[in-house]
Amino acid sequence: MSAVRSRSASEVIAHIEKNSVVPHGPWMKGQSPCRIWTLGCDSAGYGMIFFDNKTYKVHRFIYLNKVSEIPHGMLILHSCDTPSCNEISHLRLGTHSDNAHDKVMRGRCKSPTGNAHGSKTCPGRLPSGDNHFSRKFPEKLRRGTANNKAKFTDSDVLNIRGLHQRGETVTFLGARFGVHRETIRRLINKKTWMHIS
Ligand SMILES: [Zn+2]
């Protein structure tokens, strides 16, 4: 197999920007819109990217490369509470206890009700109805666990095989599409999705 050229951090940032979308408002006054990563995410919804033999969360990669080093044990928190967002102005350094506090404030903890519910504490921040991500970008949603047999669309399959031919590794493609590299390998070797060619 041909050697894969390693990508520079700025190429990865360009890749992240190219594969992120800005949802339509309404946005709170003075707030910049989210930039939503549209490719592979982990089970918690954080965008994942492979760089320099390591898997990174997309928002941490952006913070690390555009803002500053992240001290050991620190988290990068989202002011917008959207794990797949990588808009720089929505990211800030925080501790685990800051994160726990945010969770309570925004109703991400178990069954917040009444005035503690996110819809009461941050009504302007919670997308819902036609504003919800799933309505705005239905084609971007991967419902992997809901339907194990259909992790990919037909065009994903063609896309993955094409990227692999152009030199992307199965490990990178696994991180990018949020699946195990063995899943990618089987897809490329047509052990799965053999009806797509
Ligand atoms: Zn955001």
Q: How far is the CA of 19 from the centre of ligand 1 (A)?
A: 15
Ligand 1 being an ion, which residues bring their Cβ within 5 A of it?
34, 80, 82, 85, 87, 90
Domain that holds residue 76: 9-141
27 close to 13: Cβ distance less than 8 angstroms: no
- Whether 196 is in a domain gets the answer yes
Residues 137 and 151 in one domain: no
Q: How far is the CA of 16 from the centre of ligand 1 (A)?
A: 14
pLDDT at 187 over 50: yes
Domain end point (choices 141, 164, 182): 141
Residues 34 and 119 in one domain: yes
Greatest mean pLDDT range, 23-37, 58-72, 97-111: 58-72
Q: How far is the CA of 122 from the centre of ligand 1 (A)?
A: 14
Write out pLDDT tens, residues 125-182.
555 666 666 666 666 655 433 444 567 888 788 888 888 887 878 877 787 777 788 8
- Whether 4 is in a domain gets the answer no
Mean pLDDT of 104-110: 67
Mean pLDDT of 58-64: 97
Give the helix, strand, coil percentages of the chain, each rounded to 5.
40, 10, 50
Give pTM, 2 decimals. 0.53
Residues 51 and 118 in one domain: yes
pLDDT of amino acid 3: 45
Residues 47 and 89 in one domain: yes
Residues 163 and 104 in one domain: no
Percentage of residues of the chain with pLDDT beyond 70: 73
Q: E-assigned strands of 8-104? A: 20-21, 36-37, 48-51, 54-57, 75-78, 91-94
- Whether 1 is in a domain gets the answer no
- Whether 158 is in a domain gets the answer yes
Q: How far is the CA of 168 from the centre of ligand 1 (A)?
A: 29
Q: How far is the CA of 80 from the centre of ligand 1 (A)?
A: 5
Q: Which of 31-40, 42-51, 130-139 has the lowest mean pLDDT?
A: 130-139
Residues 147 and 130 in one domain: no
Please give the tally of structural domains in the chain.
2
Residues 73 and 136 in one domain: yes
- Whether 2 is in a domain gets the answer no
Mean pLDDT of 27-31: 72
Mean pLDDT of 96-114: 73
Q: How far is the CA of 20 from the centre of ligand 1 (A)?
A: 11
Q: What does the CA dihedral 126, 115, 44, 40 come to, rounded to 10 degrees?
A: 0
Percentage of residues of the chain with pLDDT beyond 90: 37
Residues 48 and 118 in one domain: yes
Helix (H, G, I), strand (E, B) or coil at 72: coil
Residues 105 and 61 in one domain: yes
Of 113 and 104, the structure prediction assigns the larger pLDDT to 104
pLDDT of amino acid 20: 94
Q: How far is the CA of 34 from the centre of ligand 1 (A)?
A: 4
Residues 155 and 118 in one domain: no
Mean pLDDT of 113-133: 56
Q: How far is the CA of 21 from the centre of ligand 1 (A)?
A: 11
Residues 74 and 152 in one domain: no
Residues 28 and 116 in one domain: yes
